[in-house]
Structure 1
């Protein structure tokens, strides 16, 4: 969406992250726009079966760090309004647990049920 915003095809009214994004510094967060504490960001992650040997996990992790930190990847992500984050396995596990707990509160608080 940042490309569309920069060339005037859309006018963003807020970003859902906790902080403003560097690609659109004049666009406020949802929290700044009147819904205090709101935060919802999309993310991509790599997962493997629980019984994957640790050396394989480490090889995948190291290759991912190398790729994400490459200039080509950084440029591509930045052009698309994405901020690269490489978490350790423990950090990513905690992120998934936190995210699941937050959305569970939203779902239960709104009495949302599967159809």
Structure 2
């Protein structure tokens, strides 16, 4: 049995009122409460955009997708973009059609640019 890689969530610096959360490890049933709290805290700040950097995510299951849908439902005015998913996570997204509901970007920068928020937050 392969060792588990617990979910790690980090806030990543971003321009203006954009919030970026870096997700790494495994996003699954066991980590759903941690994910729910992290999403709720980020959305509580009422960002103009929430980007989830999935470049460090090794695994994602349907319970994690449920939390993404919950966050979208709880704060419908804040766009949530899924950025840089690895191939195995991208495959889940393709199979479930999550790209019909969420924007999936190739990188955090592309996610921010997609929403016209390319400013540096300076000046």
Bigger-Rg structure (1/2) = 1
User: TM-score, normalised on structure 1?
Assistant: 0.29
User: TM-score, normalised on structure 2?
Assistant: 0.27
Higher RCO, Cα 8 Å, sep 6+? 2
